[in-house]
Amino acid sequence: MNRDGNTTSFWQATTAAAHNQSKKELEFSHQHFDTIIVGAGITGVTLAKELQNRGQKCLIIEKANVGFGTTGGTTAHINNFFDSSYDEVISDFGEFGAKTLASAAKDTIKYIKSNIIKYHISCEYNECSSFLFSAEEKQNDQLEKIFNSHQKVGIETVKVHTIPFSLPFENAIEIKGQAQFHPLRYINKLIKEFEKEGGAIVTETQVMNFENKEGKVKVLTDGETYFFADNLVWATHIPPGNNRFSVLLAPYRSYALTAKLDNPVMHLAQSADLYDPYHYVRYHKSNDDYYIIVGGYDHMTGGEEDTEQHFTDLTAYLDEHFKYKNIVAKWSSQYYVPADGLAYIGQMPGENNIYISTGYNGNGMTFGSMAALIIPDLMEGKTTPLSDLLSPGRVKPIASARNVISEVINATTHFVKDKFSAEKIKDLDKIAAGEGKIIKHDGSTIAAYRDMKSELHLLSPVCPHTGCNVVWNPSEVTWDCPCHGSRFCIDGTLLNGPAMSDLKKIDHE
């Protein structure tokens, strides 16, 4: 199963494709759908099945294959707490808003479990506790605030003196009622159920444009095929094109390793410290084998040159704290930090029948599934305190929003300036096999990469989204845009939006 990078996640390595992945544009192009969903990750697949259950005729359009994006690269925690802690949510959105979010998060975990039971999904689902701890004395106050906020919003949390991980800590809390699973096996079974009940999916097909007139949507794909629907949902991690969410969302990369353990563990569990960025770990059971998944060392996309160093650091962290047989997978993945800390799920501002779901931070399994509880209600004309809280049209000028917006603007300014600081190279033969860099050659700025077969790939470095220069990601062997997170293959092919077209190729002799 393919994913949007060079590394292979643990989930990819243990999953077969959901279906034949063949294109079916002509089969569906003359049909009218209630809803077209763009993107076949946790959000798009769960939403499509839920809408189908409510009587809608749906089409999923996926640029690559099911689970190609972050769903295939998550560490698959299903939590009722978030990267924006409840004390922060209370401060920014009030206690009622925080209680609304907490209740919805608990309902979302129940919803995922109900799907697993209903459709007999074998996806290594387990319920467990998550242990949050202060690694240094100066983090104790922060942990206490989190604990107190959990009492206020109804998240079952207790103080503990031990944790089921060999990690040093000052204080710790156990957050009960969490879960985890194999995300690709989960969505692959949902896709099969969706198709079995008449749902339509088109893979290896990119949406190029759309028109929204008189409450009807016409979608154009790269195969020059049109599809028609009453509603359109962007389940693409970030809505494509240049819109307000290009500024309200900051792209980040996170790194993960999976190692096979020497011995079984007594209880499956999750844990995280309070560093910024934080380390996160969890146990996973597959058949009779036990694994540990560790992650962290997050940074803004395109913000660091030596991305391979983060895998080295994670390995050192693993070696220091855990006994294991061998590392079986290492990978990185992308997520978006929302300006005010909460996801944007609902109607696109100014569009009654266009919907988005984005800005999950590190909580994609929960928010992506929660979208299937929000968007169908909105399509039926029902608003709730939760849909109001997460509305993409909300306007709440808070300090955290200013911080994220500043990050995006600073990245844009910095990397637009970097157009003038490329390395000057006269002889392209000096680019070694496996090396990628931005160069100046014969008066042109070029994104150059030589593959392991010594073939040279030359591209324009200008991201077609807003004109920032891409940078080289050596661990994923991709060109990443540091401004808004678009990513491209070595041949310029678009992997992730918000860009909607490829990097331009440069001919060379």
Do 191 and 60 belong together in one domain?
A: yes
How high is the mean pLDDT of the chain? 93
- 363 with 389, same domain: the answer is yes
Statement: residue 16 has pLDDT above 90: no
List the beta strands (DSSP E) in 222-343. 226-234, 249-261, 269-272, 280-286, 289-300, 324-338
The pairing of beta strand 487-488 with beta strand 494-496: antiparallel
* 397 pLDDT above the threshold of 70: no
Residue finishing a domain among 381, 404, 427: 404
Confidence at 30, pLDDT banded by 50, 70, 90? confident
pLDDT tens, 449-500? 999 999 999 999 999 999 999 999 999 999 999 999 999 999 999 999 899 9
Residue type, 282: R
| 230 and 359, same domain (yes or no) | yes
CA dist 492 and 461 (Å) reads: 9
- Confirm whether 472 is domain-assigned: yes
Exposure on the CB side of residue 270, measured as CA atoms within 13 A? 22
Q: How many domains does the chain have?
A: 2
Position 101 in a domain? no
> Would you call 409 helix, strand, or coil by DSSP?
helix
Q: How far apart are CA 480 and CA 499, in angstroms?
A: 11
Say if 144 falls within a structural domain.
Answer: no
Residues 373 and 489 in one domain: no
Task: Note whether 400 and 460 are same-domain residues.
Answer: no
Q: Is residue 289 part of a domain?
A: no
Number of Cβ within 10 Å of residue 249's Cβ equals 27
Structural tokens at position 63: 């640029």
Q: Give a yes or no: residue 381 inside a domain.
A: yes
Q: Which of 77, 113, 98, 88 is nearest to 154 (CA)?
A: 98
For the segment 163-193, what is each residue's pLDDT rounded down to a tens digit? 999 999 999 999 999 999 999 999 999 999 9
First to last CA, the chain: 35
What number of other Cβ atoms are within 10 A of residue 189's Cβ? 20
Taking alpha carbons only, the member of 57, 404, 467 closest to residue 251 is: 404
* Per-residue confidence (pLDDT) for residue 420, from 0 to 100: 43
Residues near 148 by beta carbon (within 8 Å), at least 6 away in sequence: 87
d(CA 175, CA 82): 12
DSSP letter at 136?
S
Q: Would you state the torsion angle of the CA atoms of residues 419, 463, 299, 90, taken in this order, to the nearest 10 degrees?
A: 120
Q: Mean pLDDT throughout 200-212?
A: 94
Tens of pLDDT, residue by residue over 272-285, are 999 999 999 999 99
- Checking if the pLDDT of 419 tops 50, the result is no
Domain boundary among 352, 379, 404: 404
**Domain-embedded: residue 215:** yes
Note whether residue 399 is domain-resident: yes
- Asked if 237 and 365 sit in the same domain, the reply is yes
CATH code, domain carrying 490 = 2.102.10.10
| pTM of this prediction exceeds 0.75 | yes
Over the range 442-480, which residues count as b (16 or more CB within 10 Å of their CB) and which as e? Answer: eeebbbbbbeeeeeebbbbbbbbbbebbbbbbbbbbbbb
Task: Record the tokens describing residue 276, joined without a space.
Answer: 């910024």
Residue 509 lies in a domain: no
Band (507; pLDDT cuts 50, 70, 90): confident
Q: Which CATH number characterizes residue 222's domain? A: 3.50.50.60
Q: Domain end: 354, 372, 404, which one?
A: 404
**Would strands 423-424 and 436-441 be described as parallel, antiparallel, or unpaired?**
parallel
pLDDT at 334 over 70: yes
DSSP 428: G
Note whether 383 and 427 are same-domain residues.
Answer: no
Q: Which domain holds residue 435?
A: 418-496
pLDDT of res. 444: 86
Mean pLDDT, range 429-454, rounded to an integer: 91
Return the percentage of the chain with pLDDT > 70, whole number. 92
Element (H, E) at 372: helix 364-379
* Residue 64, pLDDT above cutoff 60: yes
State the average pLDDT over residues 199-225.
93
Tell whether 238 and 370 lie within a shared domain: yes
